[in-house]
Every structure is written in C-alpha cells, then in structure tokens.
Chain A
C-alpha cells in the first residue's frame, strides 16, 4: 500500500445533470471534503455515457472512471439509467474477460440530496485507485 504515496490519480466522473451533478454540488455547498483530483463531466443523463468514452479514457491512461446517475426509478428521463446499467455491466464484463482492471470503473447512483454519498464515493473510489496505482496503459506504445 505504501507504493504511489504521493501519486494523485486522474479520475473522471460522468455525472448526470439532474441527480448526481446536483449531488456533487451539494457536497460542495455543505463544504464536505473529498479529493480534488476527480474531474467532473456533466451529461444530461447517465445514459449518454457511451462505453466507448470510458474505453477511450482508459486507453488514454485515465486511472479511474466513475459513472453516476439518478437512482433506478428516479431517472429524470424515466429509464435512462437502466440502460446505463446494462451497458456498464457489459463493459465491465469485457474488461474482466480481457484481464483489464475493471476495478478502475465504478457505477454509482447519487441523488440530488446525497451530497454525503457523493463525497463518500469520490473519497473511497480515489482510495481504491490509489491502491491499484497508476494505469499502466499511460505509457504503452503499441496501442
């Protein structure tokens, strides 16, 4: 665990506009602290997150990708997040089967009122990624 002591992971967070992004805002307005290295990208619905995005980021050397949306049943667009979940499940399976580190991908439901949860998820995920260390694809040549 002592490896990468001062390594700050590059983490990408796709946040749906209506729940998770608002939740992340709430974490801030409640002055909760979590690692600043996490970089949010706002999408209208988590279902906009094409697995290809995650793939690109991963092969580009991102250390972790978080996809966050409304809780099932609460999707602002009704069913979007159910599809997100299926696509994510598939992507994870592809990672597992090809021996890639699927632990670098995380799907989480964060509602607009769950500032606490967002801070928690962000902190824990960052911790996990720190354990995993740097994504080695970063310096591969034959991609």
Chain B
C-alpha cells in the first residue's frame, strides 16, 4: 500500500512562526518521498486545530501523520487522540519538537529553520517505519493482600475495607497489633495507645470485607498488577496452603530491633538492669517500673544511638521515645533522675520540639556522649563515657535503657524473595522512587508501608498506609480493565539464543525463560518499555515497539546526512 504521510506545522501563535521560517520549511519538505501533503496552521492544539487535523486525516486519507509543533511532553497525547478519533492508529503519528528544542534555543532564524527541517525529516523517516499498536486491556481483581498485621497493615486494611474492598490480612503472630501493642502511650499526645489499637483491631474483626489469617505467612505470590495468585500457609500446622487471587499487595511487615548483645561494651545480657527500649515499654505497660530487686530505680540512663554506627543510619524514632520514657519515669517515680546520652538529637517535625523542652530540666538532662562503656559498680551500674569536650565522665545509675537501631524485620529477605521486591543496602524494601513513587515498588501493584520501608514513627506509618490504600482504590477499580504499557519489548523466538542476558538486567522481572524452548519471553503486562534488554541483547532478538532499531536509525541517518 502506498504511504501517504501528512505533515502539519504548527505556528504556535508567534512562538514558532516568529523564530522559524515555516514557508521555507514547507517548501523544502513538500517534495520529500511519501509526503502527500504539508500545511501550516495557527494553533494545532486549539479546538479549531484539532478539528482541522481530524478533517485533514480523513480528507487526505493519510496513512501516517507528522506534526511539527511543541514538545511531546505538551501535546503528544492530544494529537494521538485526534488521530485516533479520525480513524488513524495513534502510533502511526510522530511529533517533531520544533519549539522547545528548536525555535526557542537560538536567535538565528536561519539556523532554527534548518534545524526544524532536519527534525521534521527525522520524524518523516521514522514514521515511515511505524506500525499500528493496539491498546491492551486486561481484567483485574480488585481484592488486596496485606502482609503484616501491625499498625501499618491494620490501617491499610481498614482504609481499603471501609469502601467495601475485599482484603486478606496475613499476620504470622497469633494476634494482630504488632509492636505498638507493647506501648502504653503515644509520643507527643501522651494519650493511651491501647484504646486506639484495640479499636482498630475490633473494627478489623467485625468488618466482613477483611479475611484475617493469624499464625500464617505468605508462601507464594506470583503474577502482576491486577492478577496476583497468592498462597498462604499456617505456621503452626501442616495444613494445605490457602489459595486466592488479588490485584494488589501491601507489604507491612514492620521492623525489629538491633541486637544489643553485638555491642558487649553496653553489657546487655550480662549485667542486671541493662534493658532495651522495648523491654522497658513492656515493663512500663505492665504498670510497675522496677529493678531486678523489685525496687524502683532512683536514677536511669537512656543511651541513644545503640548500633547506629554499625548500621550506618539514624533510626529516627529513638530520640522521641526516649523523651517519652523520661516522661513515663518522671510521672511514675517523681524523684527519679534521668540522663539521656545521645550522640545526635533528632527531633524533627512541627511539634515534637515542645515535648523535648517540657521534658528537659527538672530531673531530666540530655548529654552528648561518645564511647560509652557500662560496668557493674556494687549493686549499681557505672556508665563511663566521653562528653562533648572529650573528657572522660563516669555516671552511676540504677538502670540503663538502651535505644537500639531499628532493623528490617527478620523475614524481610524471605518476603523479598517471594514478592521479588528489591531490598536496599540496609535491608529495608526499596521504594520505586523516593520522590516520584515513595510507596510504590519496582513491581506495579505491590506497595511498601511503615517500617518495612525504613524506620518510622506511628503517624508517618499511618500516612503511608492511607497513601497505599488511596493508590490502590484509585488505580484498581472493580470492573475497570487495566491498560498495560503498549510500547513494550518483544523477543524474536527465531533469533533468541537463550543466554538470559536480558533476564539478568530487567528491573521488573518482566522477562521469563521458557525452559522447553530455551528462549526468553517478555511478559508484556509487566514490561515498562525502557529498552534496556534491547541494547543488552547481542543477537538483536529483543526489540521494543515504537523504538525499534529501524525507527531510531532513521533519526540517526537524518543527523548524519
């Protein structure tokens, strides 16, 4: 079939017209191979412009469309819609950006005109090799799997279940609630936490949209956005795993604490009355803060940043709960002396500072320290440390509370393996992009919330859970089909030699290996179309729709003409 390429140059008001000699462009290109028609128009993105284009495509019965106008970032979509409306496959169109990267970058009209001509020729050369691409639509399952029944998982589940979304909540412990159930009060508000938590757990148990699995763990999660197949098995019994499908997964497996025994100088596990923050929370919640001998402590040292150097990051929450601890102590034992030994105070946020100011002073002091060592001195503990000026100091206390670093949950790597989500250097799950997609992951439809992603306080955790729920509710709507990327990679069965190079470099696990045929296969639903595999494939078996070798090569040719 004979190609009939229509070329339309947008004046973009004065924006292009004043900088580029459009008539010269038209004159130069009108006689080019396959160019059936070339015209200019005041403003193609305007209502009139779109109408004009639509009529032209039909009237001239074009097989391909080239528009010379602004950046694809601005109006590629607009013109694709027009072309589709006019019955021309939107991928048979190419936009030449003669504004941002041509008209606007030089004062020399002649140069701009020359460049415009080259850009348009490149687009014409390219569009010749375009082929129609069809939007894919696949059914999606709106249900959601939430891994982890701590505060993060609970919140996500509720946010999803309230608007009638079916949720499967999997917790490996016998009860829901996670770490926070050990806390008596919340930082800042100093309000009792238990009623909040219990309230939420109560709601979970009464909401029939939520199916709770306790004493259970996820055994398998295969598939892609909208279509994951899940297997859950009990940890306390040999039952057959339960199977169900979901459309999205929320990872909320929380975190654990750095093992203070790894730092013998703190004497944890060997000395009496040296306890971790978590042990202290429990002790406090039980109602009685006391030493081994049953007596209440007269003096307490809280040592911050335990294991920070080893882990290489600040755990963000310790300073705050240490202040909370000081408050617990002073409320319950008015005469107690509390010394906070910190290496750096981290009290961010609009309000947290207040509590610090309140706590400081009466019986509670904050000391910047380094190189602490704890030893026994009679029935007390001696904390030797260097103060800010490096002079050695010895502090005698009854009790030492260690604030160990927050670590990734024990089974993080196992979950990582099952879900294929990448763990960063610190072992926490890596978000897709800290700014663009902070709770998404490399696998569309799998989200990470709470301390699974990194150390966080409760409010930050709740925010993430709600964000994840919001993302799922808006992207995974019951009955609505999902539209995966169209410009995906494809691998020629004839040319693939099965070296698995593409598998190793694909960030999305979009390529699988067909063991029987010994060739790589692209899962077009998962592929995001970056083209990395295409450049990596030596045998030219991989190619990417709309960015094929021949298509790009036409642009290269124009550049070297």
Residues in B with CB closer than 8 Å to A22 are 73
B396-437 residues with Cβ-Cβ distance < 8 A to A are 432-433, 436
- CB of B53 to closest CB in A, whole Å: 22
Q: Is the CB of B115 within 8 A of A39?
A: yes
Tell me if A48 and B544 are in contact (CB < 8 A): yes
- Residue from B111, B114, B432, B531 in contact with A48 in the complex, judged by beta carbons closer than 8 Å: B531
Would you call B507 and A78 a contact (CB within 8 A)? yes
State whether the Cβ of B71 lies closer than 8 Å to any Cβ in chain A.
yes
Q: A34-57 CB contact bits vs B (8 Å, 1 = yes)?
A: 111101111111011111010011
Query: Per-residue 0/1 for A50-92: is the Cβ within 8 Å of any B Cβ (1 yes, 0 no)?
Result: 1101001100111000000000001011111001000100000
Q: Assess the A57–B559 pair: CB atoms within 8 A.
A: yes
* Contact among A36, A51, A61, A83 for B560, CB-based, below 8 A: A61
- Contact at B530–A77, with CB atoms within 8 Å? yes
Residues in A1-32 with C-beta less than 8 Å from chain B = 10-12, 21-22, 24-25, 27-29, 31-32
Q: Which residue of B lies closest to A87 (CB)?
A: B535
B560 partner residues in chain A, CB cutoff 8 A:
10, 12, 57, 60-62
Of B56-64, B94-102, B255-263, the segment with at least 4 beta carbons within 8 Å of chain A is B94-102
How big is the B interface, by class?
35 or more
Does any Cβ of A come within 8 Å of B555's Cβ? Answer: yes
Q: Give the complex CA separation of A36 and B107 in angstroms.
A: 10
Say yes or no: B529 contacts A44, CB within 8 Å.
yes
Of A36, A42, A87, the residue contacting B102 (CB under 8 A) is A36
Is A93 in the interface zone, CB < 8 Å from B?
no
Q: Does B528 contact A (CB under 8 A)?
A: yes
* Most chain B beta-carbon contacts within 10 A, residue among A25, A56, A83: A25
State whether the Cβ of B105 lies closer than 8 Å to any Cβ in chain A: yes
In the complex the two chains form, is B535's CB within 8 Å of A56's CB?
A: no
List chain A residues, Cβ under 8 A from B104: 28-29, 31
Lowest 10 CB-CB distances: which A-B pairs, in order? A48-B531, A28-B100, A47-B532, A28-B104, A77-B530, A45-B530, A60-B560, A50-B535, A25-B100, A36-B111
Residue A33 CB within 8 A of the other chain: yes
Mark contacts of B295-321 with chain A using CB atoms, 8 A cut-off: 1 yes-contact digit, 0 otherwise: 000000000000000000000000000
Give the contacts of B40-97 with A (CB-CB under 8 A). 71-73, 97
Docked complex Cα distance between A69 and B560 (Å): 22
- How far, in whole Å, are A28 and B19 apart by their CA atoms in the complex? 13
Please, which residues of chain A bring their CB within 8 A of the CB of B432? 78
A41 in contact with B105 given A78-B432, A83-B536 (CB within 8 Å) = no
Question: Contact: B507 with A41, CB < 8 Å?
Answer: no
Q: B residues near A, CB below 8 A?
A: 71-73, 97, 99-108, 111-112, 114-115, 118-119, 122, 432-433, 436, 442, 487, 505, 507, 528-532, 534-536, 544, 547, 549, 552-553, 555-560
Measured between beta carbons, the chain B residues less than 8 angstroms from A56 are 553, 556
Report the bound CA distance from A97 to B523 in whole Å: 39
Which of chain A's residues has its CB closest to B442's CB?
A: A78
Residues on B with beta carbons closer than 8 Å to the beta carbon of A53: 552-553, 556
Given A28-B100, A39-B559, does the pair A45, B532 have CB atoms closer than 8 Å? yes
Q: Contacts of B115 on A, CB cut-off 8 Å? A: 36-37, 39
Contacts of B99 in A (CB 8 A): 28
Alpha-carbon distance between A123 and B541 when the two chains are bound, in angstroms: 37
Nearest B residue to A45 via CB reads B530
B422 shortest CB reach to chain A, Å: 8
- Excluding A41-B556, A78-B442, 7 further A-B contacts by CB distance (< 8 Å) are A36-B111, A39-B118, A40-B101, A47-B535, A80-B507, A83-B505, A87-B535
CB-CB nearest in chain B for A8: B111
Give every chain B residue within 8 A of A24 (Cβ-Cβ): 100-101
Question: Separation in Å of the B77 CB from the closest CB of chain A?
Answer: 13
**Which residues of chain B have C-beta atoms less than 8 A from A62's C-beta?**
556, 559-560
B residues near A61, Cβ cutoff 8 Å: 560
Q: How far is the CA of A83 from the CA of B531 in the complex (A)?
A: 11
Residues of A within 8 A of B556 (CB): 12, 41, 53, 56-57, 60, 62
- Report A-chain residues with C-beta under 8 Å of the C-beta of B442: 78
Q: How far is the CA of A37 from the CA of B547 in the complex (A)?
A: 23
Give the chain A neighbours of B557 by CB distance below 8 A. Answer: 60
Contact assessment for B112 and A36 in the assembled complex, using a CB-CB cutoff below 8 Å: yes
Minimal Cβ-Cβ distance residue in A for B110: A36
When the two chains form their complex, are residues A49 and B101 in contact, meaning their CB atoms are under 8 A apart?
A: no
* CB neighbours of B530 from chain A (8 A): 44-45, 47-48, 76-77, 80
A21 to B72, CA, bound (A): 10
Distance between Cα atoms of A117 and B487 in the complex (Å): 30
CB-defined contacts of B102 to chain A, threshold 8 Å? 28, 36
User: Which of A43, A60, A78 interacts with B531 by CB under 8 Å?
Assistant: A43
Q: A36-B114, A74-B433 are in contact. Are A47 and B559 (CB under 8 A)?
A: no
A34 to B101 Cα, complex, angstroms: 10
- 22 example contacts (A-B, Cβ-Cβ < 8 A) are as follows A25-B100, A29-B100, A32-B105, A33-B105, A33-B107, A34-B105, A36-B102, A36-B112, A40-B101, A41-B122, A41-B559, A47-B532, A48-B530, A48-B532, A48-B534, A48-B547, A50-B534, A61-B560, A78-B433, A80-B530, A83-B532, A87-B535
Most buried by B among A32, A56, A77, A119: A77
Q: Are B535 and A27 in contact (CB under 8 A)?
A: no
Considering the complex, give the chain B residue whose CB is closest to the CB of A77: B530
CB–CB A39/B558 < 8 A: yes
Assembled-state Cα–Cα distance A60/B487 (Å): 28
For A41, give its contact among B433, B436, B555 (CB under 8 Å).
Answer: B555
